[in-house]
Each structure stands twice: as structure tokens, then as C-alpha cells.
Amino acid sequence: MPTVRWSKKPMPNIDDAIAKIRAVGHVVCENQGQVFPDYDHMNCDATAVCERLGIPSTDDLFLQYPAERTFDSIDEAEIDAEEEELGIKLPSDYKRLLTEFGEFHLPGTAAICFERPVRAVYTTQGALQIDENLSALAISSYNVDADGNSIGFIRHNDRFGDAVFEFNHELRYHSDDPTMWTKKLAGSLAEFIVNYLNKIN
């Protein structure tokens, strides 16, 4: 009887993820105005956000805009400086995507809005109450299983690992150990993005 050989599909790489992101740039995202760094929280005013995105001003809680309106690359030197200030190595996929797209959003119902390192640290320490040792880093919201969850990386000594995990905000308060409140979603950020966009297409 002949031996059946299964060809293993290669894991998506960062170039695959970049191509996928560009391909969905025209797709409309819907998120609360407050997820944007230039949202005026004091006055509940999204005027600056709407002007930057090139969409009509609105008082609605949710804004609709093509994903590509959030594409705004960040200089590699800026990312390197934030990494150095952090004192922990960041995954190469994450850094590459920031230099390509900046703090970009993905379409779909998961409310994926990627943050640069300095903002990700602020979110991680505020929303997840992770101390300054940063056992984990939340880089985006991820409202698939529950509103308030995030995705990000787990720290291994002096670097954050490449694997992407879902952070369960409700379980977080039971333990400081990230393995107790995280679920692995993908081996890399590139793999996560390709898989996510394949599901919503």
C-alpha cells in the first residue's frame, strides 16, 4: 500500500500578514470614538478623530471608517526608542507592523485596535493591573469571547515571546501568573492576523 504524505502548510509570515491587511483596507471598521488617542475624553468629542480619518463629524458613540484610514506608519527609530525605554525586547512581527501601519485597526467584530508600545504599556498597567515588571503586554482589545479581553504577548526573561495570547480580564484578578488567565491563539502575530482575517472574509 502506498504511503500517504501530507504536505504541511507553511506558517504565515509577516509579509503574508501585511498583504492581508492591505487587502482589507477598504473594509469598514466600527469602534467607539474613545479608542482613538486623539479623542477628547473630557468633552466626549470625536471631532479631531473624524477630521483625521476624513469622515463626517458625528456625536454617535460608534464611528465607522475604512480600516486603511488608520494606517499611519511609525518611524522605526521611534519604535526602537520605545523598546529601549521599556527595557524588554519586542516581537519582530509587532515592530514591523507598526513601521508599516502604525496604530492600525482591523475590520470585524473583535474591536482589534493595535497600540504602539508606550500606549500598550499604559493600557496593560491600567486595564489589567499588571505591575511595572510587565509579565505580559496587551497590544489590542479583543472582544470575541468577552468585552474587555485583550491580545498580546507573555514575557520570557528580557523579551516578550512571539506567540499571541488572549488575556481574559475576568480571570486576571485570580492570579499574577499569566498562564492562569491567558489562552494561546497563534504562534506569531503574523499567524494570528492571517487566521483572523481569513475567518472574517
Specify if 121 maps to a domain.
Answer: yes
pLDDT tens for 94-118 read 999 999 999 999 999 999 999 999 9
Confidence of residue 4 (pLDDT cuts 50, 70, 90): low
Domain with residue 126: its CATH number is: 3.40.1580.10
Is 196's pLDDT higher than 70? yes
β-bridge pairing 136-141 and 164-167: unpaired
Strand partners, 64: 30
Specify if 77 maps to a domain.
Answer: yes
Specify if 55 maps to a domain.
Answer: no
Torsion over CA of 43, 129, 86 and 52, rounded to 10 degrees? -20
Specify if 49 maps to a domain.
Answer: no
Which uninterrupted H or E stretch holds 167? strand 164-167
Domain enclosing residue 164, as ranges: 14-25+70-200
pLDDT tens for 61-79 read 899 999 999 999 999 999 9
pTM: 0.90
Specify if 46 maps to a domain.
Answer: no
pLDDT tens for 127-161 read 777 777 889 999 999 998 778 899 999 999 999 99
Q: Are 129 and 119 in contact (CB under 8 A)?
A: no
Specify if 19 maps to a domain.
Answer: yes
Number of domains in the chain: 1
Specify if 111 maps to a domain.
Answer: yes
Specify if 43 maps to a domain.
Answer: no
